[in-house]
Amino acid sequence: MDVSLISRLASFRRLRLFVFTVLVAVDAGDTSVSVPRPGTVNIGVLFTMDSVIGRAAKPALQAATDDVNSDSSILKGVKLNLILHDTNCSGFLGTVEALQLMENDVVAVIGPQSSGIAHVISHVVNELHVPLLSFAATDPALSSLQYTYFLRTTPSDYFQMYAIADMVDYYGWREVIAIYVDDDYGRNGISVLGDALAKKRAKISYNAPFTPGATRSDINDLLVGVSQMESRVYVVHVNPDSGLTVFSVAEVLGMMTSSYVWIATDWLPSLIDSMEPVDTDTMNLIQGVIALRHHTPDSTGKRNFMARWNTLKYKARFGHSGFNSYALYAYDSVWLAAHALEVFFNEGGIVSFSSDLRLHDTNGSTLHLASLRVFDGGAQFLQTLNRINFVGLSGQIQFDPDRNLVHPAFDVVNFVGTGVRTVGFWSNYSHLSVVAPEILYTKPPNTSTSNQKLHDVIWPGEITKRPRGWVFPNNGKTLQIAVPNRVSYKAFVAEDKSPPGVKGYCIDVFEAAVNLLSYPVPRSYVLFGDGKRNPVYNDLVNQVAQNNYDAAVGDVTIITNRTRIVDFTQPYMESGLVVVVPVKEEKSSPWAFLQPFTWQMWGVTGAFFLFVGAVVWILEHRLNHEFRGTPRQQLMTICWFSFSTMFFSHSTSISQHHLFNFSTLRFIIFEPELYRGF
């Protein structure tokens, strides 16, 4: 037999044995599948480089890529290649840059920075099955199920707004004014704030939006209108690159003094932290402001990274870039992708792309839509990302079922002097506390009201007393209080010639209650009724229900039909038969018993006495000898009998029949209402 033939047969047997061995290993349950790994994996990065967040993110992204590529324990033989695209603070250019980025067969995109661009790009990555890892797009609406491939690696503004609502409730305020940039980031964040405040029985009394890129004149006009309203608690939710203009204009308008409260979201601490050094003029603008800053636990890795920062920023050619929390989230985003790729490859994932038949260039288009290809393993890679769990520089990187980071937390900071004071913390675990969240995680959650605590705050105007939170506006409407114009029982309420124009017990109670309030309540009393007869109280209640009057003060009885259309205060008088009389001293008189009857009443009573005596005489004088004699004697008997029957029983004998008739007659004459039921 030919030697070459024998050699080929032997090779075939070895190949068949190898295939059999692999099949046996797989059949035995070996889940570790060895597949060829690519030499390079492309990851896209999309953000505005020349911005407060971008200048902190770029050095961190490059440092994370270098650390991953130099770490032999992860992605062995695979090199991460970051492809950076600049969105230039433009929604349109950002969308174009994102489409161009997708032409490079990226397995994931880190970014974008803008929530508005994230809304648009999320539809693109859903189609191409490319996960989107955003370290700065905090719009709560991006967590909806519509954006399947969007994964946020920073806390959502949903939690930040609930933290602000807890602070508003903690300090006892009930109304705030929201000042925000009118884009997806601003609108959706403030919408969540409104829901959070409603759960605390508070509300946003006025929305004050301004367009992205608004001029100083536009912001001035906005704040002038805001300053004339009653609320003095302002929540500022804007972009860090232009947010200081709000405080600069507010200072010129005198709105950074005592009685004002300014609460800023995380944009302000991010801006201040990135300044090297902090500008004194900037700090003077924000004296007394309280704000929320991302809470990142202290760790050795975080300290080492911050020690490297000066070297990293000069390496990234951003010598003027300052460190803020977004640098940590950007760094962890790269490591999240690296950990997920390691698991993806170990589970047999393959980096491959295929064309989408629905994406093709027509009619001579130069958009190159056909170059956008679908990541075949995108769904598997997304599932891997959702179950990754590791500790990064910003804390624990793990996602809940809603694709939000677990344990969202913020520092509550107060800008005072030339520095920043931490007055407490907020976490989704225990809400407001003076204890760091990582310590509270080891204890049972406690969100009771008594457990909510913050250190003392120095407010605008360098005061430590909690501001009242509102004043009566300069253009406010005076409350119109309706008062029944009574003509009887004027002790309750009545017209008065001296200010405030009404008087009475009800007015005294109302004035005493108003005087207990810590703020002024301008009001004017309006008499309801013509003053000739008591007004119809149902009409008065209906006038209040129809907003013709703001309220009514008076002796208005609380009945079921009225409670269906208006709200009543708690009764300040017990119901029942009562008499309200003026308290005054009078000399006692032995003839006081005569005062209740008028002379007409005495005359009627005497006439009835004589009438009763005459009736008894007619009935008795023929049968009873006591009623006989001379006319003078009979007249005296009639008068005496009539008078004596009211005080004692007679010794005079009267027939039983006539006695019954007499008693019945007296009953009918003096008590007719009782006789109707006799």
Mean pLDDT of 231-244: 92
- The 10 Å Cβ neighbour count of residue 269 is 22
Give the separation between CA 557 and CA 183, rounded to whole angstroms.
51
Residue 267 phi/psi, 5° resolution?
-60, -35
- How many angstroms separate the CA atoms of 160 and 188, rounded? 12
Contact 140, 402 (CB under 8 A): no
Mean pLDDT of the chain: 84
DSSP 561-624: HHHTTS--PPPSS--SS------------TTGGGTTS-HHHHHHHHHHHHHHHHHHHHHHTTT-
Residues 218-230: pLDDT tens digits?
999 999 999 988 8
- Asked if residue 620 lies in contact with residue 627, where contact means CB atoms within 8 angstroms, the answer is yes
What backbone torsions phi and psi does residue 152 show, to the nearest 5 degrees? -95, 125
Cross-strand partners of 353: 375
**For position 1, what pLDDT does the model report?**
44
Q: pLDDT band for position 636 (50/70/90)?
A: confident
Both structure tokens of 442 = 């080891």
Contact status, residue 454 vs residue 328, Cβ threshold 8 Å: no
The answer to whether the beta carbons of residues 81 and 21 sit under 8 Å apart is no
Residue 660 pLDDT more than 70? no
pLDDT of residue 265: 96
Q: How far is Cα 529 from Cα 537, in angstroms, rounded to an integer?
A: 10
Amino acid at 197: L
Cβ neighbours of residue 678 under 8 Å, at least 6 residues apart? Answer: 667
Lowest mean pLDDT among 94-103, 474-483, 586-595: 586-595
What is the rounded average pLDDT of the residues 524-528? 93
C-alpha 306/C-alpha 285 separation (Å) is: 28
Which of 14-23, 256-265, 648-657 is modeled with the greatest confidence? 256-265
Residue 644 has pLDDT above 50, yes or no: yes
pLDDT for the residue numbered 304 = 93
Residues 267 and 295: beta-carbon distance below 8 Å: no
Looking at residue 313, its amino acid is K
**Which H or E run contains 528?**
strand 523-528
Q: Is the pLDDT of residue 664 over 80?
A: no
- The DSSP letter of residue 652 is S
Q: Give the whole-angstrom CA distance, residue 20 versus residue 26.
A: 10
Distances (CA, A) of 412 to 162, 430, 607: 13, 14, 90
Paired strand residues for 551: 481
Look at residue 327 in the predicted model and tell me its pLDDT.
93
Q: Give the per-residue pLDDT at 210.
A: 94
Residues paired with residue 528 on neighbouring β-strands, in sequence order: 484
505 φ, ψ (degrees, to nearest 5) = -60, -45
Determine if the pTM surpasses 0.75: no
CA 449 to chain centre: 16
Nearest Cα to Cα of residue 486 among 504, 509, 513, 510: 504
Amino acid 138: pLDDT? 93
Instruction: Report pLDDT for 159.
Output: 96
Phi then psi dihedrals of residue 178, to 5 deg: -95, 120
pLDDT in the model for residue 655 = 47
105-140 per-position pLDDT tens digit: 899 999 898 898 999 899 889 989 999 999 999 999
Q: pLDDT at position 585, please?
A: 65
Q: Look at 629 and 30; give whichever has higher pLDDT.
A: 629
Residue 317 DSSP label? T
pLDDT tens digits, one per residue of 248-307: 999 999 999 988 999 999 999 999 998 877 888 899 999 999 999 999 999 999 999 988
> For 53-86, what is each residue's pLDDT tens digit?
988 999 999 999 999 999 988 988 899 999 999 8
What pLDDT was estimated at residue 30?
Answer: 41
Residue range 181-198: mean pLDDT, rounded:
95
Half-sphere exposure of 666 (CA within 13 A, CB side): 17
Q: Is the pLDDT of residue 430 over 70?
A: yes
Judge whether 112 and 94 are in contact, CB under 8 Å: yes
Q: Is the pLDDT score of 13 beyond 70? A: no
**Contact at 8 Å (CB) between 492 and 486?**
yes
